[in-house]
């Protein structure tokens, strides 16, 4: 088992290296000149040239990538003289759009994304699995149809549309909540809750939709398995069969996918954060796209990738425990 | 993910099923089950209607004398908002007019269906085709082929796909244009379809691979092998027919998902461009008129939900119908 | 992601004669009545993710100048804190008077008041002002700011304080010299209204020891009544009282609220809804602009009559034609005549968009404005004149067949990617299509629109623009927009056969010290450009704003076309 874990972690490192390389090269291919973006409206060519050197964009792509990697472990200095500055390790670069080291920016925005993700995740598992179970137990009846409608709305209507509709309906029509205005939970917990409740709900309901479907189908599948029929034949109660056999079998794949989805969310829920004005990583990265702020883009992509890779390793290890055959393979 | 499809069997006939005595083919059986379900049939009708209307949009507009592009300043008041109640619904403009320009919403809706469905269908076909091929190869060949494909899937999955889709829109669209794809919307549509397939195939491939892994151990494949069947025969004649059910479920989920992604991109200004119409362009535009023109807000949304619901119902029905155990009595 | 503030993102505004009065009055109230009270917090709702630049030498956006200038950064001279006409007068701020100058206006001196301090309590010295101004030259670090200082002041090849050698610094110190509390600027050219130039925040003091270069943008040192408590991009900027500021040394700032909270990153629709709803803290809020789709709600309902305004801002919008690509006037005329300006106006919010412009100088610049003669056949009501446009197109095909062919193949049309422009583009495409001219739409994210079109490598055929004078002289309009060395020339007109004649006339006008004569010269130059249609006149724009029911003094500050944020107060 130990060897298996070591192997998975080693592979995860290699994977991250590959992702960082691809990310860096992919964004370097963008036609925008990062140096030109540093110098605003009335820009002269010599200024662009000077900034290109200051930021290291005059070097070859491979060398730039090497400096980027080195920065993660050793930090990085920019420029000389009075206008010099540095970003300490782990440095993911410096954003000219936001006048700040990318690592600092991510440290500022990540907590918001994390609060959003955790709350939404718990809600959506609850909603998704319970509606899915109800639909499966009432297959073909109105509950099943209602779940199907819910699923349809969830998978079809884009987040921005539902998000704004909910925001306007709840806040303007019904006047239940004030307009969201983010505060850290440590500064003002009631305001934090009031702000997060809508984004949590919207994100949860939209993501829950596909879990409803997975649960429904997984349970129907399980209910038809022979061991369930055997259980019925043996005279076990419905409750015991459902809990011991059906739910257990239906949930294993769902938990796996949920782990990966959750990790993906930690990289930033771009649209939800934008609609509800939450200053998280997703909102920062969309802004980086708009302004071609390459260092921020590379940084957020990398952080998002780290979460996905970690989740993958955890899922693999969990599988290793659950199913010994995986280990030998 | 794989467990939900594990029970698909070659014989397709459950021992205690009444029909098994008559000896119908699995396809006939599935159709027989589906046609009993009136709701699913209706949903199927809805899908076909949508497809027909989308395909015939130019004809319909010509017959009705409307156009998705024609401006109509007379239908607007001084603020640029539609004259009259309910977003300017009238005999001339069945679903009202677009604020700001006075373009006919009905015409834009059916032209929009054309663009949105085209993106959704092509992306789904491409995704499914790639995922199916790679998944079957990985599952059937196993060994080093499987592990290379597996690592490749890991790398693909490790990228935050939505962020990349957004970030790469402009440069890749330009690249497509320089490669000779017509500028503007054709290039943007091509990009959206390609990029959705680039990130989407993995999900299909994962399911198909798992399914193939379990199928290749089944007796009927063993039997085919023993009787000297070629790999080609086994893949095409033995494995693929058994992969339909999971694939249909994926398709019924992913097609609407792709339509939604296209609309999100349009909302961000990265999807189809004006003056073209797509549901995404309409949804993104209409959200601003929450207060001023709520009718406009609901029209594209309802059109989209109805279609997706139809897809879901049909997808579920097909899945259930193809399930050999579907006619077993539910004991719980 | 989408910004209405795209208009304000360019240059900015100083208009001497009263904007509102000259253009026929504004239809909103200015929330007068009641005496200002101290205390409370003013909220500012913003669609932007940050203030473009808080570094005073880099701040060049009308709205941001009004905000930072009235709260944090003092300048030698300032615009008066008043609505209407009075707001366009200049008054001494850090200086004791409006400056003195020699006979030909090439040497200007200002004497600093006693008692002015930075937020750390240290005294504002002449050296701090000179250092602040010197940063303008460091154009690799101090980007986006106005360049008047470096183009007026005679400092040789001075590269800014970060890179200057001892000799270069000595040259600068001679050009901008200090004698006790008196600062003297030695100019290359005569500038009769240099004390208007010094209202720009580029002329505010920066303590050399606190200058962090590029990073100064995030935490500039305050010389005004408020200082930064916290500033998080994408979230908020909080200003609190600067305890070291004293009213005695600053006669113009009222400093009523205890704090300001600038909320960033709000969806435009959400901002409008919050302002319309007027609940909780939003009663103490102001927001910049109203979306066209909500104008009817706000202006047709008397409930809003005390907290809305519709006014002429200092801007003129126009459409730049790339004269290099569209090198014959017939094709430019065809485009203008074919354009359905009436439909465009409707898409932007009807009469609230503004009036059809007849040139590039707004009537508010009374001395420099004269109604110009527009091309024959242009419909006064803004509708397209398809026959006349077709005739111009036929003429173009005879005069310059390659250019006509280019127009038929497709002209690239650069514009900001905003919802309003998405609609407008459809109208452009439809209008020009009627005379066979095709357009290729090139939407550009608002935040990078200007850098994109200003880049000489961007080969647009058509690019929209908007500009407001930097102060009440068309010398900040015509040369800026149409001279090759102008800061905002998007017409690429250097090779036009008439360009040399234009430039000679511009040089003559700039040198003219008789303001009335100079005004006539600008009028003629305005007509000169209209005749050649290097840019198509668009709109003398109007703007609308709304504020919370408990905000006092919410007048529009004419020079900037924005609230005078520092003068707002919370009604008790």
CB count in 10 Å sphere of residue A60 = 8
B104 located within any domain: no
The residue of chain B nearest to residue A313, with distances taken between CA atoms, is B154
Name the pLDDT band for A31 (thresholds 50, 70, 90): low
d(CA B167, CA B165): 6
Q: Say whether pLDDT at C359 is over 80.
A: yes
Q: Say whether pLDDT at A277 is over 50.
A: yes
Q: What secondary structure does DSSP assign to A275-305, as a single string?
A: HTT--SHHHHHHHHHHTT-HHHHHHHHHHHH
Long-range CB contacts (within 8 A, 24+) of C505-513: C506/C478, C506/C479, C506/C482, C509/C475, C509/C478, C510/C189, C510/C475, C510/C479, C511/C189, C511/C190, C513/C104, C513/C105, C513/C190, C513/C192
For the ranges A52-61, B182-191, B254-263, C263-272, the lowest mean pLDDT is seen at: A52-61
Containing structural domain, residue B207: 41-67+112-331
Assess B42–A contact: CB distance below 8 Å, yes or no. no
Containing structural domain, residue A20: 2-102
Burial class (CB in 10 A: 0-12, 13-18, 19+), A81: exposed
B50 located within any domain: yes
Name the pLDDT band for A212 (thresholds 50, 70, 90): confident
3-state class (DSSP) for residue C353: helix
Disruptive mutation site among A15, A152, A311 for chain B (greatest number of B CBs within 10 Å): A152
B258 located within any domain: yes
Average pLDDT over residues C274-299: 89
CB count in 10 Å sphere of residue A324 = 10
**Interface predicted TM-score (ipTM) of this complex, two decimals:** 0.79
Q: Residues A97, A115: one domain?
A: no
Contact B66, B72 (CB under 8 A): no
- Domain limit, last residue, from A50, A79, A102: A102
Answer yes or no: do A283 and C234 touch at CB < 8 A: yes
Give chain C's mean pLDDT: 87
Contact A59, A67 (CB under 8 A): yes
Q: Residues A181, A235: one domain?
A: yes
Which chains reach chain C with 3 or more Cβ–Cβ distances below 8 angstroms? A, B
Give chain B's mean pLDDT: 80
The pLDDT score that the predictor gives to residue A34 is 67
Q: Residues A131, A89: one domain?
A: no
B86 located within any domain: no
Q: Say whether pLDDT at C241 is over 90.
A: yes
- Tell me the residues of chain A between 131 and 190 that have a Cβ less than 8 Å away from chain C: 164, 167-168, 171-172, 175, 178-179, 181-182
The pLDDT score that the predictor gives to residue C61 is 82
CATH number, domain with residue A168:
1.10.3720.10
The pLDDT score that the predictor gives to residue C23 is 33
Q: Say whether pLDDT at B95 is over 60.
A: yes
Q: Which of C110, C119, C67, C63 is nearest to C90 (CA)?
A: C110
pLDDT, greater one: A73 or C385: C385
Q: Cβ contacts of residue C379 below 8 Å, gap of 6+?
A: C385
Q: Residues A56, A188: one domain?
A: no
Predicted confidence (pLDDT) per residue in C38-89, tens digit:
999 999 999 888 888 899 999 988 889 999 999 999 999 999 999 887 888 8
Instruction: Give chain B's domain count.
Output: 1
Predicted confidence (pLDDT) per residue in A221-243, tens digit:
777 777 777 777 777 777 777 77
- Domain limit, last residue, from A42, A74, A102: A102
3-state class (DSSP) for residue A38: helix
B76 located within any domain: no
Contact C42, C286 (CB under 8 A): yes
Name the pLDDT band for C286 (thresholds 50, 70, 90): very high
Average pLDDT over residues A292-313: 86
Contact B281, B304 (CB under 8 A): no
Question: Hey, what are C468's tokens?
Answer: 């407001």
Strands C41-45 and C285-287: parallel
Q: Residues A88, A129: one domain?
A: no
Q: Residues A91, A122: one domain?
A: no
Measured in angstroms, the CA of C447 and the nearest CA of chain B are apart by 14
Answer yes or no: do A312 and B158 touch at CB < 8 A: yes
Beta bridge partners, C262, equal C44, C237
Q: Cβ contacts of residue C140 below 8 Å, gap of 6+?
A: A39, A47, A50, A51, A54
Q: Residues A97, A70: one domain?
A: yes
Disruptive mutation site among C4, C297, C343 for chain B (greatest number of B CBs within 10 Å): C343
Predicted confidence (pLDDT) per residue in C114-172, tens digit:
999 999 999 999 999 999 999 999 887 888 888 889 888 999 899 999 989 999 999 99
The pLDDT score that the predictor gives to residue A43 is 61
Q: Say whether pLDDT at C15 is over 60.
A: no
Q: Which of B38, A95, B71, B225 is nearest to C50 (CA)?
A: A95
d(CA C237, CA C53): 12
CATH number, domain with residue B320:
1.10.3720.10
Predicted confidence (pLDDT) per residue in B225-282, tens digit:
788 888 888 887 778 777 877 787 778 778 888 888 888 888 777 888 878 888 888 8
Contact C123, C221 (CB under 8 A): no
The residue of chain B nearest to residue C417, with distances taken between CA atoms, is B269
The whole-angstrom distance between residue C103's C-alpha and the CA centroid of its chain comes to 31
Name the pLDDT band for A37 (thresholds 50, 70, 90): low
The pLDDT score that the predictor gives to residue C396 is 93
Contact C64, C53 (CB under 8 A): yes
Q: Cβ contacts of residue B133 below 8 Å, gap of 6+?
A: none
Q: Residues A47, A140: one domain?
A: no
Instruction: Give chain A's domain count.
Output: 2
For the ranges A145-154, B189-198, C93-102, C436-445, the lowest mean pLDDT is seen at: A145-154
The pLDDT score that the predictor gives to residue C436 is 93
Residue C476, CA distances (Å) to C148, C293, C306, C470, C483 in order: 10, 33, 35, 6, 11
Q: Residues A183, A45: one domain?
A: no
Assess B100–A contact: CB distance below 8 Å, yes or no. no
Beta bridge partners, C562, equal C557
The pLDDT score that the predictor gives to residue B38 is 81
- Domain limit, last residue, from A87, A102, A117: A102
Token look-up 């639909």 returns A135
B106 located within any domain: no
Average pLDDT over residues A13-30: 84
Predicted confidence (pLDDT) per residue in C174-214, tens digit:
999 999 999 999 998 888 889 999 999 999 999 999 998 88
Average pLDDT over residues A17-45: 72
d(CA A300, CA A268): 8
Q: Residues A167, A25: one domain?
A: no
Name the pLDDT band for C10 (thresholds 50, 70, 90): very low
B84 located within any domain: no
Helix ranges restricted to H, C326-442: 329-338, 341-347, 386-399, 401-409, 419-433
- Phi, psi (rounded to 5 degrees) for C39: 100, 175
Which chains reach chain A with 3 or more Cβ–Cβ distances below 8 angstroms? B, C
Average pLDDT over residues C463-469: 86
Q: Residues A216, A263: one domain?
A: yes
Q: Residues A120, A84: one domain?
A: no
Maximum CA pair distance of chain A? Answer: 85
Burial class (CB in 10 A: 0-12, 13-18, 19+), C425: buried
Contact A198, A277 (CB under 8 A): no
Residue C3, CA distances (Å) to A262, C203, C444 in order: 32, 29, 11
Q: Which residues of A touch C144 (CB under 8 A)?
A: 40-42
CB count in 10 Å sphere of residue C551 = 22
d(CA A307, CA C515): 66
Name the pLDDT band for C547 (thresholds 50, 70, 90): very high
Predicted confidence (pLDDT) per residue in C504-544, tens digit:
999 899 888 788 999 999 999 999 999 999 999 999 998 89
């Amino acid at each position: 088992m130990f060897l298996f874990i070591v192997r998975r972690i080693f592979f995860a490192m290699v994977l991250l290296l590959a992702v960082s390389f691809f990310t860096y090269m992919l964004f370097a291919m963008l036609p925008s000149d990062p140096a030109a973006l540093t110098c605003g409206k009335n820009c002269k060519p010599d200024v662009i040239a000077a900034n290109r050197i200051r930021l290291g964009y005059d070097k070859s792509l491979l060398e730039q990538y090497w400096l980027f990697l080195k920065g993660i472990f050793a930090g990085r200095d920019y420029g000389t003289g009075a206008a010099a500055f540095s970003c300490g390790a782990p440095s993911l670069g410096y954003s000219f759009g936001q006048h700040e080291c990318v690592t600092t920016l991510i440290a500022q925005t990540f907590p918001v994304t994390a609060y959003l993700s955790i709350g939404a995740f718990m809600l959506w598992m609850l909603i998704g699995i319970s509606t899915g179970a109800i639909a499966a137990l009432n297959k073909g009846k109105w509950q099943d149809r209602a779940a199907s409608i819910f699923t349809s709305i969830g998978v079809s209507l884009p987040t921005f549309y539902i998000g704004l509709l909910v925001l306007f309906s709840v806040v303007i029509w019904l006047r239940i909540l004030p307009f969201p205005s983010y505060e850290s939970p440590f500064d003002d917990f009631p305001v934090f809750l009031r702000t997060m409740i809508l984004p949590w709900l919207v994100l949860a309901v939209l993501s829950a939709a596909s879990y409803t479907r997975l649960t429904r189908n997984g349970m129907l599948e399980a209910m038809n398995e022979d061991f369930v029929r055997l259980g019925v034949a043996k005279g076990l109660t419905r409750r015991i069969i459902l809990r011991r056999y059906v739910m257990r079998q239906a949930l294993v794949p769902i938990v796996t996918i949920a782990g990966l989805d959750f990790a993906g969310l930690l990289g930033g829920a771009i649209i939800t954060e934008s609609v509800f004005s939450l200053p998280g990583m997703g909102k920062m990265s969309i802004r980086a796209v708009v302004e071609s702020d390459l260092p921020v883009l590379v940084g957020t992509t990398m952080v998002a990738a780290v979460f996905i890779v970690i989740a993958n390793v955890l899922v693999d290890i969990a599988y290793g425990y659950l199913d010994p055959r995986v280990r030998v393979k | 993910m794989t467990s939900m499809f594990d029970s698909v069997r070659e014989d397709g006939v459950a021992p205690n099923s009444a029909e098994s005595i008559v000896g119908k083919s699995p396809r006939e059986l599935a159709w027989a089950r589906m046609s009993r379900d009136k709701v699913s049939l209706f949903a199927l009708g809805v899908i076909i209607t949508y497809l027909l209307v989308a395909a015939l949009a130019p004809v319909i507009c010509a017959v009705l004398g409307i156009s998705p592009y024609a401006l109509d300043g007379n239908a607007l008041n001084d603020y640029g908002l539609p004259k009259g109640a309910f977003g300017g619904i009238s005999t001339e403009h069945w679903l009202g007019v677009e604020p700001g320009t006075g373009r006919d919403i009905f015409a834009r809706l059916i032209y929009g269906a054309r663009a949105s469905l085209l993106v959704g269908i092509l992306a789904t076909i491409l995704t499914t085709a790639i995922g199916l091929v790679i998944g079957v190869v990985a599952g059937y060949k196993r060994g080093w082929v499987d592990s290379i494909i597996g690592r490749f899937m890991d790398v693909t999955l490790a990228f935050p796909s939505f962020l990349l889709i957004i970030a790469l829109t402009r440069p890749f669209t330009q690249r497509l244009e320089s490669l000779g794809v017509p500028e503007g919307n054709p290039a943007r549509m091509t990009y959206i379809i390609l990029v959705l397939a680039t990130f989407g195939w993995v999900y299909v491939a994962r399911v198909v691979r798992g399914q193939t892994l379990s199928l290749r151990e089944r007796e009927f494949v063993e039997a085919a092998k023993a009787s000297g069947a070629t790999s080609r025969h086994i893949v095409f004649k033995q494995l693929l027919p058994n992969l339909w059910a999971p694939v249909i479920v994926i398709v019924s989920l992913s097609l609407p998902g792709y339509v939604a992604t296209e609309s999100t991109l349009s909302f961000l200004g990265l999807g189809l461009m004006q003056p073209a119409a797509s549901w995404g362009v309409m949804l993104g535009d209409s959200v601003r008129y929450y207060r001023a023109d709520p009718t406009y807000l609901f029209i594209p949304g309802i059109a989209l939900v109805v279609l997706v619901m139809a897809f879901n119902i049909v997808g579920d029905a097909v899945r259930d119908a193809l399930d050999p155990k579907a006619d077993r009595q539910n004991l719980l | 992601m989408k910004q209405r503030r795209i208009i304000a993102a360019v240059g900015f505004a100083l208009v001497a004669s009263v904007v509102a009065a000259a253009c026929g009055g504004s239809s909103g109230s200015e929330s007068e009545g009641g005496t200002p009270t101290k205390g409370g917090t003013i909220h500012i709702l913003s669609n932007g993710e940050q203030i473009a630049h808080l570094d005073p030498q880099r701040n060049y956006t009308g709205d941001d100048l009004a905000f930072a200038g009235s709260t944090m950064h003092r300048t030698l001279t300032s615009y008066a804190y008043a609505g209407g006409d009075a707001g366009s007068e200049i008054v001494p701020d850090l200086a004791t008077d409006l400056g003195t100058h020699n006979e030909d206006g090439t040497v200007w001196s200002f004497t600093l008041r006693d008692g002015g301090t930075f937020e750390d309590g240290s005294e504002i010295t002449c050296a701090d002002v000179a250092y602040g101004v010197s940063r303008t030259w460091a154009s690799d670090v101090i980007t986006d700011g106005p360049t008047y200082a470096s183009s007026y002041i005679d400092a040789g090849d001075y590269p800014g304080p970060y890179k200057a050698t001892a000799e270069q610094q000595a040259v600068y110190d001679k050009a901008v010299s200090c004698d006790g509390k008196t600062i003297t600027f030695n100019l290359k050219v005569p500038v009769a209204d240099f004390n208007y130039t010094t209202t720009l925040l580029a002329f505010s003091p920066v303590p050399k020891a606190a200058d962090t270069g590029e990073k100064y943008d995030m935490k500039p040192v305050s010389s005004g009544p408020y200082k930064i408590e916290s500033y998080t991009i994408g979230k908020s900027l909080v200003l609190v009282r600067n305890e070291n500021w004293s009213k005695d040394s600053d006669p113009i700032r009222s400093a009523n609220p205890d704090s300001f909270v600038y909320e960033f990153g709000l969806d435009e629709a959400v901002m409008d809804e919050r302002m319309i709803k007027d609940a909780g803290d939003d009663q103490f809020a102001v927001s910049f602009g109203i979306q066209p789709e909500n104008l009817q709600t706000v202006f047709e309902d008397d409930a809003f009559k005390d907290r809305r305004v519709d006014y002429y801002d200092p801007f003129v919008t126009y459409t730049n034609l790339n004269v290099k690509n569209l090198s014959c006037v017939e094709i430019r005329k065809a485009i203008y005549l074919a354009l359905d300006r009436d439909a465009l106006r409707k898409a932007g919010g009807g009469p609230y968009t503004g009036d059809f412009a007849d040139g590039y100088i707004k009537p508010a610049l009374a001395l420099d404005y004269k109604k110009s003669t527009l091309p024959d056949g242009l419909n006064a009501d803004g509708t397209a004149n398809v026959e006349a446009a077709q005739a111009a197109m036929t003429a173009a095909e005879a005069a310059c067949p390659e250019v006509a062919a280019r127009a038929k193949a497709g002209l690239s049309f650069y514009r900001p990617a905003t919802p309003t422009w998405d609609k407008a583009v459809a109208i452009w495409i439809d209008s020009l299509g009627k005379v066979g001219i095709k357009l290729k739409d090139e939407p550009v994210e608002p935040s990078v629109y200007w850098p994109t079109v200003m880049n000489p490598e961007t080969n647009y055929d058509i690019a929209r623009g908007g500009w407001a004078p930097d102060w009440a002289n068309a010398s900040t309009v015509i040369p800026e927009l149409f001279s090759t060395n102008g800061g905002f020339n998007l017409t690429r007109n250097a090779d036009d056969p008439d360009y040399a004649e234009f430039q000679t006339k511009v040089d003559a006008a700039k040198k003219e010290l008789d303001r009335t004569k100079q005004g006539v010269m600008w009028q003629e130059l305005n007509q000169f450009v209209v005749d050649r249609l290097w840019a198509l006149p668009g709109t003398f724009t109007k703007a609308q704003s709304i504020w919370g029911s408990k905000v006092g003094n919410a007048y529009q500050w004419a020079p900037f076309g924005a609230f005078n944020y520092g003068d707002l107060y919370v009604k008790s």
